Amino acid sequence: MSNDSNCNEDLSDLVHSEIREAQIVCGRTVDERIAHLQRCEIFFNSLYNDFKAEEMLLHRDKSGSLLDNFLDEMLEFASQNEPKIRCFIAQFIEKACKKDADLMIKAGNSLLYLIDAGGIGFVTVVKKVIGSCCQLYPIVLKWAANSKCKEVEVCWEFFSMLKGRIMQHLDSDNEGQVFFFLLSLMSCHIVRKQTMKFLETVILSQTVRTEESEENRGDIMCLNKIPREHRFISYRKMENEASLNFSALLDQISSTHISSLNLLTGISCICNIARLRPQFMQPVIGALESLQVNLPPTLAMSQVKSVRKELKMHLLRILKHPSCIPFSQRVETLLNDLGASQSEISRSLPTTNDAGKRSRQSDSLEGLEKKRPKIDNDDETTRFVDKEEDEEYGVEGARPSISSVGASSDTAVDITAQFVYERLRPRVVTNLVLISLVTLPDEMPAAFQSSFTPIAAAGTESQIRHLSRLIATQLTSLGLGPGYELVQNEKHQQSIARQMARMEGAAIPPTPLNEFPSSYKKDSFSQFTSNAFVFRKSKPKTQFGLLTITKRLPKDEAVNLVQLLFQRIIANEKRAIQGGAGIAYQKLLVRLVTRFDSDSCGRLQELLADFIIQEQKSRTDLALLWIAELYAQYQGFSLCQASFISSGNSKKDLFQRFDNVLCNLLKILFNRGEHKETMFHKILLEVPLLTPESLKWLREACLDSVFGGFGITTLRELVMTRSRQRIELLNLLLDLSYSEKNEVRQQSIETAKELYQIDYIKGDVRDYLIRSLKHCTHSKPPPQFCFHLPAGAESKWDENTIRTALNLFLSIVPLDHSLIHHFATIYGKSPTEVKRLTLRAIDSAIKTIGGSSPDLLKMIETCPLGAETLAIRIVHLLTERNPPTCELVESTCALYDQGRTDIRSLVPVLNGLDKARISSLLPKFVLNQVNQKSLPVVYHKLLFERNIKTGKQTMSTSELLVAIHRIPLTNKESVQLLLENINLLLSQLVGLKDSIASAIDTLIGDENISSVLFHTIIRTFQSYPALGGFISNVLLKIAQKRPWVTDRSIWSYFVACVIRTTPHSYLAVLTGLSSEEFCELAASSTKHGTNIISALRSYIPTLSAHQQKKIDRRIRETIMKDNDVSFIYANSQSCE
């Protein structure tokens, strides 16, 4: 420790000596003096790092750093009239404050001095100071918002003053100060350029960063990081100031005398603002549209090219932004006018993911705009004094907001553009072109030739609208057009209304004097002069006292006087505001009503309530002050004189007073249909405590069929900001999802989905969902689910009831897939009717979740007892239009292997199984009567859907036919089922005769031929007569193989097949059978009503000589003999 202290002392001495050298070498050059100061800066940097490392190692705070000790000595150099030294000091302050923002407490005054002080090189110093402030402003604002130091408020006031000085340089060349006449025009442009960059920094730091804002390392501060209840930084004032600054920046760009340098800087600034703060996207694109057709006339040809190139570059970058999607058509038209190729535009279009993100976006600014910050007491007097001078007189505390930036201009352009578009017809355009031909020069101007780009989409709807907007912009800038006239008329009417208001409130009648009549004076004088003086004994003198001569007024008279006094005070609101006593006036009214409680106080409350309701916009603060005073009395923070009341002020009575006033105001507003106005919602948002009765009025506002959305938005803000009452408010919001009004249900559900994505609210919403889901385990639904039933009807579960009960839950399940486990658990405990209805209601939610959800797959694999039907239904829904995933196949098979589901549960995932598994499962499908309805789907999936693993057909037609024929048969019932399935399968295989033939060819090669094969041969021949030759060969092979030798039952099937496939079976009979088998076949044919001998007798001559040689001699003789078939068969038997 001694070594560290010695090192610090040596550094301190070294720094001191260098500063001293810089102070005393006044006769040397400026560079030598700066060299000494730079050494001090190096020492400060190294010392800062040493202290930082020491803190990290020893976990101890070292007080009194050298940087803080020698800061004052460094700042003293700012007073020297040397531009380089002053610029160095500005740079030093920037570096020091970046490391330790607390140093701004001392350094802020020096920056203000540097920007105000004149002297040599003033412009250079101002430029350097503004550049440093661009870096320091977000750091200082962040420090002021988070620091708890007492001096931070004073420091922030100094920096705000410095910010105001910088803003003045936006028009520095027109300010009229004497020293500005000595500056060159280029110097003024440089200062303005730096000021524009500073404006960009201020706007970015004082506006809300949204989810769509681009990531930028320099964007370290935004309005989101400033709490609304900050003790000295007003959230709303910061936002309004940013809006005004943004308007000023747009005004600079639209100026006709702006230089090329400043124009390029301004374009860069507003485009950066649009990308980092998408809420400014619309006014920025409008400004760029206006600029593209109204370039300053003072620009040279090369400067015009530079500006157009800059516009093109920034528009391409803006086009990539997701927030530009609603304006992409306008931007693309601008880019076409600027000469951008279609390939450049296509590459800059946002991707599909960006567009999806844009659609999911929830406008976060809507919630932030709802709640205004409370107005500071210090500014209250000024606000009321200047109230009538403001253009928005009549709207209390009205200020320009982000949404109103350039609103009147945009409105005028839009109206005029629509006017022009409706009249821009081919005939009118032709006339305009003909008229313009007169004014065209003989030769094309070089400037036009260099900047002209052919119109790619001429004549299209978008190009006509773009042309209309360009014409409207020109007309509006010249003060022409219906839009401009409409805006001017509105302003004129507002001006007249303000003048009328001034005339009504300005005349103050004089107070009459209380003079005595002349007769009274004479009578009194004569009375004292006419009487004789009578000497009497003097009485002791009594000292005068006001209380001794004042009589106590009767109660009724006193109350009446108080009411008259109160009415007199109410009638003089304008005088109080004009006199700067607006706050005192409001406090007086509130205290008269609340702090002197009496039995007649109800009349004063009625008067005050009526007074507030008459002018809601300007008296909302009065209503809030009234409610806040009653709440303070309820909490014991304020006293109430109760000398005229019969009962005391207990805690319960004070709460009842607070509740009555709050609910009375809400009731009056609601009954008047003014619950859509600001006052109703602002009272709910800013009241210290929401009572149960006030929540009933909020619920009524939410249920309004027209303006219910306002109430739900207010309720959403309350849920987010009222942590102590969050459960109660959340229950109110989520209960609205069971409302009988569809609009209210949808708005409530959408709001619940937004809140569920907020971490500190998610758990409460989740608990509510689980509680509401447990209602499904009851035999009867609760009343809130049965709004569709007639009055007095018994509650019961039906399709509408179950959809109402599950609507909220199924809407949020896609946001949190883990909820599906709770759903399955409760489903397993529900009654059978509820289960049946639930399976019909889950389609949309399950399809939204998708088959790749780990929670869903886990639920299917390990579903709770009783939820097996739910799992199978989910599998069916997931595979209804999409093939199953490998994970889904595994989970479904795992559930089946546990023995908890039957074979039908595997139908949706058959195209995810291998052939071996399918072959083992086929007998369970085919030979079970229960599964027969599922077999068409099974065959379709196996034959026409591709396997998810191989990408090929799951089973070929021949493979499936072979697998079915090889199923072992145990009884006649199984044979019948197999035949039915073969018929079903063959009916689906229309046009696949080659595959069927291949399967038959494979089957006749089996060692044991199945009797079912003959049925298949007959069906194939009936369906495809063209396969007669193939059938003849098959029967020949069977005849030569003689399977009936081992299994005598095969013979009857063979005989039937021969008879059903004639005449193609004749060749097999003649050449494949022995004479004895032929005789038996001939005898059996008569039983089927067929005389095969006569048919063969006619058939043999048609054969070739070679084929006839293959016929057995005895068979030939038998056929040619004209004997009876039975005789032939008997003769053959006797020969044997």
Cα atoms in the 13 Å half-sphere on the side-chain side of 951:
0
Both 596 and 473 in a single domain?
no
Looking at residue 817, its pLDDT comes to 93
Domain of 25: which CATH number? Answer: 1.25.10.10
Both 470 and 561 in a single domain?
no
* 3-class SS string, 1094-1127: HHHHHHHHHCCHHHHHCCCHHHHHHHHCCCCHHH
- Residues in the chain predicted with pLDDT less than 70, given as ranges, are 1-70, 118-121, 171-189, 351-410, 446-453, 456-457, 501-548, 597-600, 640-649, 990-991, 1088-1089, 1122-1136
As beta bridge partners, residue 596 has: 641
Cα atoms in the 13 Å half-sphere on the side-chain side of 265:
20
Looking at residue 46, its pLDDT comes to 39
Let me know if residue 815 belongs to a domain: no
C-beta neighbour count of 739 within 10 angstroms: 20
Both 12 and 129 in a single domain?
yes
Both 562 and 468 in a single domain?
no
pLDDT in tens, 741-770: 889 999 999 999 999 999 999 999 999 999
Let me know if residue 576 belongs to a domain: yes
Both 15 and 119 in a single domain?
yes
pLDDT in tens, 729-742: 999 999 999 988 88
Q: How far is residue 886's CA from residue 892's CA, in Å, rounded to a whole number? A: 10
Question: Which residue, 665, 689, 713, sits at the end of a domain?
Answer: 689
Let me know if residue 967 belongs to a domain: yes
Question: Which residue, 958, 981, 1004, sits at the end of a domain?
Answer: 981
DSSP state letter for 76: G
CA dist list (Å): 779 to 643, 775, 788, 790, 833: 59, 9, 18, 19, 9
Its domain, for residue 977, covers 913-981
CA dist list (Å): 155 to 71, 78, 128, 204: 16, 19, 21, 21
Q: What is the chain's percent helix, strand, coil content, to nearest 5?
A: 70, 0, 30
Q: Which residue has the tokens 């928005």?
A: 392
Q: How far is residue 149's CA from residue 677's CA, in Å, rounded to a whole number? A: 40
Looking at residue 1025, its pLDDT comes to 85
C-beta neighbour count of 493 within 10 angstroms: 10
**How would you class 650 by CB atoms within 10 Å of its CB: exposed for 0-12, middle for 13-18, buried for 19 or more?**
exposed
Looking at residue 399, its pLDDT comes to 40
CB 872 within 8 A of CB 905: yes
Let me know if residue 51 belongs to a domain: yes
As beta bridge partners, residue 946 has: 953
Both 463 and 564 in a single domain?
no
Let me know if residue 566 belongs to a domain: yes
- Token representation of residue 710: 């306002």
Let me know if residue 120 belongs to a domain: yes
Let me know if residue 55 belongs to a domain: yes
Sign of CA dihedral 272, 275, 279, 281: positive
Question: Which residue, 954, 981, 1008, sits at the end of a domain?
Answer: 981
Both 569 and 663 in a single domain?
yes
Looking at residue 383, its pLDDT comes to 37
Q: How many domains in the chain?
A: 4
Long-range CB contacts for residues 142-150, cutoff 8 Å, separation at least 24: 142/101, 142/220, 142/221, 142/225, 143/101, 143/102, 143/104, 144/233, 145/225, 145/226, 145/227, 145/230, 145/233, 146/225, 147/101, 147/102, 149/102, 149/105
pLDDT in tens, 650-699: 888 889 999 999 999 999 999 998 888 999 999 999 999 999 999 999 99
Predicted TM-score (pTM) of the model is 0.49
Let me know if residue 569 belongs to a domain: yes
Tallying the residues shown for the chain, one arrives at: 1136
C-beta neighbour count of 422 within 10 angstroms: 9
3 state DSSP class of 862: coil
Residues 6+ apart with CB under 8 A from 467: 424
Looking at residue 556, its pLDDT comes to 82
